[in-house]
Structure 1
């Protein structure tokens, strides 16, 4: 069981490592492939968008296919994506490789949490969810530093080459350890939901990434309208068929919905910040990619280390203390970032990010555990699929929004260093507002659980 969690966790770990490592390389890629800030961010956005399209299907895939078969398929997708990116001759091919990797991660990510929910006793769920979160939370700690060192020493392509052995190890462990614990239940695949899901996420993300355009332009208003209409059709279709790809009925549980919205908002800030900091350090402070990676290392390590510990706190004391404390600390850190953004030294960034990740470590995994706890056992795989989908879509949304805000400032005439700092400050203010909304909703939802 532990080996199965480890195997699926290693693949998820590799996916996050590549994602955060590539954020460090954006200034280098912009120069090498002659692309702008809001174009280069598709390296991350394209990947997260693909993951967010695949993850909602995890409950359906889990019912129709063997767990080991799904894992092997995911592994091979990710491996092919790594090879494509390592050899890519142009930027579109680079993005295509990331999309292939996203297919693999989208299948594998929910498997780890489904294994935990199915096979771990209730009194250990918090700790094991924390351990699962730890496996993927270590990746943001290692990713930027790994990316910075690799780029500075042997080149960005080796970020992909060096992960190939890790994926092969994951494949071997998973093949030997993953067992089938539930009965396969073949059913008709809901292709219309898949199509509507693709148009929903693509429309919304394209719209968010063009926030500087006039609203009546297709790239902004048209894309957002397409995304919202597709979402409404997706919800209506899912509620009118017997076996939908996404079970929207569970969102009728308002406590779960509150946790899901807060979880979504928190992930927007996390991925938005992971885009802003490396670019600020390199473009404003004129530091190297290695320094940019090292600055976020202490905070990311702290957040990862706190994940299982905070899960034990939830098991012992309930969700209120770790979630309330963590979310308030996270909000405080974002306010400090916002007030200081025009002139942040590298030391200031290190300290504020350390504080931010302390809050994330206390709250993030526990929000997921607390939200799933209000669902029935039959609903938990669907709830897990929805939360993992929101996590990936929020990452794509956060990256698109902040990159568009920064690019909007950079497109004006003037000192590019100052304009980048101004754009970063505006993006941080937006993230602070988003996290405030999350806190208000989260406090209501958690209080309802405590009262019960």
Structure 2
């Protein structure tokens, strides 16, 4: 279920040109199909620790699966944009429960010497599934975009039946207080920042107000968490600089990954005039490469340490994004194919390893909260990355009459920003690895 939940994050990206015409919307508006989903996931994920203590794994699985099925059912028949968004919001609730549940099982049930390998498998789900999304969507949208949801609906019903049989209800539960105020503050933080930033292309003043509200809510959340007995997330783990730098690196990498997954499908269709089917196929080799390298990257870290696979992956991604940026105005399909494979090679080597090594910096008693922070920031960063590139592209599209040309300009500007973020990421993780090495 976690794979389907992450796959659907970007499966609709390939349909954006089609839906922009069908619903008469611009890029900044249509991106809410993905951003709204990611925003809800990022709001639900922080309460994962509470849910896992309060309810059995079986019950959480059944609720998450059922919510996801309801959302898919709505979108399988959605006739307008708002109904489509409603279905996406409900799907986000299901994924927000299921995704951290997967990581919690890996961290608590895996043998110590196999954690890196299984976290690599988890990295396969969270890093490669978003890359497979455009490929999956591209293969189907030519028939009818509703089928993107309908096919997954069949898969999820099968998953529900299998899970109902295979998952036992013997996990221990306990009654713990729920930090409702803390949850509201973090929800307000995420929502205000994402909505505010997404609105820069239409209302600069309103966006600044919303961002200010988000920052105030964030400060309130930090203060609240440090002054209550049972906060939604214990922030003591963030007193560790090495952990914080790993968390920053993980977030930046996710922003770049999702940003590229947003840019390339739209570039291929709008600028290169490729069909959605061809655009989806061109992204598949990169996705397949990332899928193969995710567990291999975890195994390399177990044998050689964290530095070599992480730095190698990020440098390869930097070079790939650099070439995409340089040739963005006239990139051909072969260049996009090869460079996307380069970015996914980097993701496979670095993404899961950054999280694994980051959690290793935390005390054992803090790893549950560290896991929640990583999962929350993964989803928030994905939403932020989508909003970031969509705003840049939309602003460029407004400054000209030739849609394909202005889209290419916007894509190049967005890639320049992603290139800068990748460079910052290499610096950040270098400091993090140096500190973690000193700690060991």
The correspondence for 1:360, drawn from 342, 347, 354, is 347
The correspondence for 2:59, drawn from 59, 66, 69, is 69
SS in 2 for 1:163: helix
The correspondence for 1:29, drawn from 19, 33, 37, is 19
Q: Report what 1:6 is aligned to.
A: none
Q: What TM-score do you get using the length of structure 1 for normalisation?
A: 0.94
4+ residue runs over 4 A deviation: 179-182
The correspondence for 1:172, drawn from 143, 157, 161, is 161
* 1:14-57, Cα deviation, whole Å (9 max, x unpaired): 12222222000011111111111100000000000000000011
Superposed counterparts of 1:166-245, under 5 Å: 166-179=155-168, 183-213=172-202, 215=204, 217-218=205-206, 220-245=207-232
* 1:363-393, Cα deviation, whole Å (9 max, x unpaired): 0010011011112222212111110110100
**Contact preservation (8 Å) 2:252, 2:381:** yes
**More displaced, 99-108 or 14-23?**
14-23
Deviation at 1:264, TM superposition (A): 0.4
Deviation at 1:180, TM superposition (A): 6.0
Deviation at 1:248, TM superposition (A): 1.4
Deviation at 1:255, TM superposition (A): 0.8
**Contact preservation (8 Å) 2:57, 2:171:** no
The correspondence for 1:447, drawn from 431, 434, 437, is 434
Residue 63 (structure 2) pairs with residue 101 (structure 1): no
The correspondence for 1:57, drawn from 35, 47, 51, is 47
**More displaced, 137-146 or 12-21?**
137-146
Q: Report what 1:272 is aligned to.
A: 259
Superposed counterparts of 1:417-432, under 5 Å: 417-432=404-419
| Distance in 2 of aligned mates of 1:270 and 1:298 | 15
| Distance in 2 of aligned mates of 1:283 and 1:321 | 38
* 1:337-374, Cα deviation, whole Å (9 max, x unpaired): 11111111111100111111111110001001101111
The correspondence for 1:412, drawn from 368, 393, 399, is 399
**How many residue pairs end up in the alignment?**
439
The correspondence for 2:286, drawn from 274, 299, 319, is 299
Q: Report what 1:337 is aligned to.
A: 324
User: Gapped runs of 5+ residues in structure 2?
Assistant: none
Residue 116 (structure 2) pairs with residue 116 (structure 1): no
